[in-house]
Amino acid sequence: MGKKQLKVIYTEKGLANFFGDHIEINRRLKDKKKLRDYIMKHELGHKESFDIWHEFQIDWKVMPSLILFVFKNPSTWKDFLPIQFSKKKIIFDFNLLIIYSFVISLSILVALIFIKLLK
């Protein structure tokens, strides 16, 4: 079975997304080889099966430049939404949905505890 060549499409918006048959990546990453390679490796590492821990496999050496890039390019912010649109496909990011639900539940819990304590 030959490995299918994965198509890379440069986009104006978003950081990077793996749509199964192709990868969309921000065109501003084109000349940022180190960052681009890291993001590509991450996206390709996503398996079909459930793998939330993949999101936490972080290379802290690359993180500062990644955060800076995201901060300087508001067009990438849409990738932090748990739903993504490609030209012909909609994908849900279940990892993000779970992470957000967890963070929101935790915030509500902490808020409730504080309200109780203040009474």
- Closest distance to Zn ion from the beta carbon of 4 (Å): 21
Question: Closest CB to Zn ion belongs to which residue?
Answer: 55
The count of residues interacting with Zn ion (CB under 5 A) is: 1
Which segment (3-11, 48-56, 78-86, 107-115) binds Zn ion by CB under 5 A?
Answer: 48-56
CA dist 2 and 17 (Å) reads: 23
- Closest distance to Zn ion from the beta carbon of 107 (Å): 22
* CB-based contact 62:38 (threshold 8 Å): yes
- 54 versus 111: smaller Cβ distance to Zn ion: 54
Return the axis-axis angle of helices 33-45 and 63-72, rounded to nearest 10°. 100
CA dist 44 and 28 (Å) reads: 19
Residue type, 46: H
- 103 versus 112: smaller Cβ distance to Zn ion: 103
- Closest distance to Zn ion from the beta carbon of 87 (Å): 21
CA dist 85 and 45 (Å) reads: 20
- Closest distance to Zn ion from the beta carbon of 36 (Å): 15
* Residues at the interface with Zn ion (CB under 5 A): 55
